[in-house]
Structure 1
Amino acid sequence: MALDGRIASIEIYSVTIPQDDAYLGALGPGESVNSAGYFVRSGNRTIYPVKMRSAVVRVTLDSGEVGWGETYGLVAPTAIHGLISDIIAPIIAGRSPFDVQAIWDDLYDLMRVRGYTGGFWLDALAAVDIALWDLMGKLTGLPLHQLLGGKHRDRIPAYVSGLPRPTIPEKVALARSFVDQGFQAVKIAASVSYDGVEREIAALRAGLGPDIAIMLDCHWMYTPAEAVALLRQLAPYNIYFLEAPCKTEDVAGLADIAAHAEVPVAAGEEWRTVYDARSRLEARAVSIVQPEMGHTGITQFMRIAHLTQAHHAKVIPHATIGAGIFAAASLQASATVLSLPYHEFQHSIFPHSAKLMTGRLECSEGYFALPEGPGLGVSPNASFWENATRLG
């Protein structure tokens, strides 16, 4: 196959992801759905849609070869469409997908002086970046992990993320069911621990035994002092990590928590670039970094991972709401990262995403399988198209 194809067009789709369980769980006290189909979690003051959506891009070369990318499309997916169609597509038309890292840097520079160093702009870059890496794999016949330098593992340990059940006994039973399947780690969300975080953690420890890793996602809810106090309360239960304990912009506060913590502090799902990671790592504010492929794209995911390892910290990727494309990219990239003990398994989303893809996208018995084939190893199937709407 010729390797000289040039970028000809980019299409953007909004994809609805089927679900059995509501993400994180049902509506909490005082929470309601507004006229646009959104609600706000009172615990972390964050907006969520009732229907989970993702923004998927298809990049086509003048040779006809197609690459797939994806970013978050939970809220205002038309923002992604506007940025890609109005700015990105005309700028990169005619370029080679083999310029992918240079393209990312060029696009980042376009808007940095306007303050667009995160948010929708970087999400749009992430989607296009993933598609270009996918194209490189297809053009060379190589899987992404080989393009990135080679894999360290053939399967990736998974931790179960979220226990969307209304009562603590039901949450423990759900966690136990995953442990019985072979999973060795479970994470809960403080924002939906309506009966109390300590009570929930204590019940999980009693129900799962001493050897299962229990993680706590705080969703940026606490002040540094509150987070330190919470860690003291949770000390008897030996949690594996404390995630996102304070507001994301409070780097000094995060470092203060880490200095007082006797367990690892994790953060990073909302970061878009290695620049976000640098300030936290240099401040010794985290010992676990959680890059989210849907926000970083492959180029920045790997730059973050390399910097994290240079600081002797660990990488545990975040991965939640997607149609399966950035999940495949995350697994491929994760296989190349040496210091990576787990990868997030969002059980209320991932199995449904897998049904939208052709290719191996599996998680069972506590491990993700590595997708096979050139590029990402997955592509949309007929079920995907039944749930997709073209934007623009």
Structure 2
Amino acid sequence: MLALVACEDDVKDTAVKEKVEKVAPEPIEKKFGFVLNDFEVVKGVVESGDSFGYLLDQQGVDRGKIYEISQKVKDTFNPARITAGKKYMILKAKDSAKTPQYFVYQNDKINYTVVGIGDSISAVKKKRPVSVKRRKISGVIASSLSEAVQEQGLSNLVMYRLSDIYQWSIDFFKLQKGDQFKMIYSEKYIDDTIFAGIENVEAAVFKHGDRPFYAFEYEIDSITGKSSFYDEEAKALQSFFLKAPLNYSRISSRYTKRRFHPVQKRWKAHLGTDYAAATGTPIVSTADGRVIASSYTSGNGNYVKVKHNDKYTTQYLHMSKRNVKNGARVKQGDVIGYVGSTGLATGPHVCYRFWVHGKQVDPYRQNLPTAKKLAANEKENYFAAIKDLRKTLDDIPYKEM
């Protein structure tokens, strides 16, 4: 009797297991508007030398069909312009022939193109669903801004945005241990999970040397949507000049009337500021202007000189490569060359020189002009716009050491 019950239990257990196994659904994978479970999926990355035709040929599409596809879709999707490093996906029918039906080309994280390569040939540009999430963060400097950002588990884009916002008012080569920052910004996410960059920065405050530097984004042109950053007193953060001609390096030698030259081995004036950085680091013009020299000398190496107006001129020495020609107009932030060690240089750096009315001076001792001032009648609107935002920013606790 007991044996019979035991056998019956075994039969029941087996039946339950089989039922569970049959009920367990296959996870549904959706991407680019397709249910991938319905296809045989080939995923890949375009390699150097790959062509659209080659990729389709590898999946059994004959050359006549490839030519037909290329001609019909070229106005929307140019097959000749697929780029090495871009991801793609080929969806094939689940039939005995495994006929290719769609080619999905990922232009970037958000934009993609679906090319119908089956019986119906077509090409449609699409975007993956993007959501925006607002964040409020704070950080403290222990050694550098990049380390402070990494310790918070934040994207390096936060560091770049802060440096962009404060590049005219804070010298990031002189950050101090204990400096603090807070920021309100929005991040973009693809399918609510994949980080796709920073949408915008609403407000920030950077406490440097116990002085808070506020920054609020404010639209200055309702037609173009152009905006700029202003402080708590409605003063523009943007200056006529950037603080430095490149990002994230170190000052290896400052402007001085007496320095021992490392190559010439003698004491002489050094009328520039040296920024040490890796070879190939982009060098930017610190203000709008016109290139009045793009040349080479045995002392300066490859150099560029920019005249900004009748008062100010800057020069950038020892470049590995120049990126502008004599007479070219440049905007603040334009790349004019790359760090090198040409001329009288012991290592890769840029020597940044600054003239005021034809006299070389130390740029760090100049009271340089600002730009983009708000009109008097616009300030009232500005103060009203930032009132609640500033309270929200101030309510975020500073992160301590």
> Structure 1 length as normaliser, TM-score?
0.20
Which structure has more helix as a fraction of its residues? 1
Q: Return the index of the structure with the highest Cα Rg.
A: 2
TM-score relative to the length of structure 2: 0.20
The higher-RCO structure (CA 8 Å, 6+ apart) is: 1
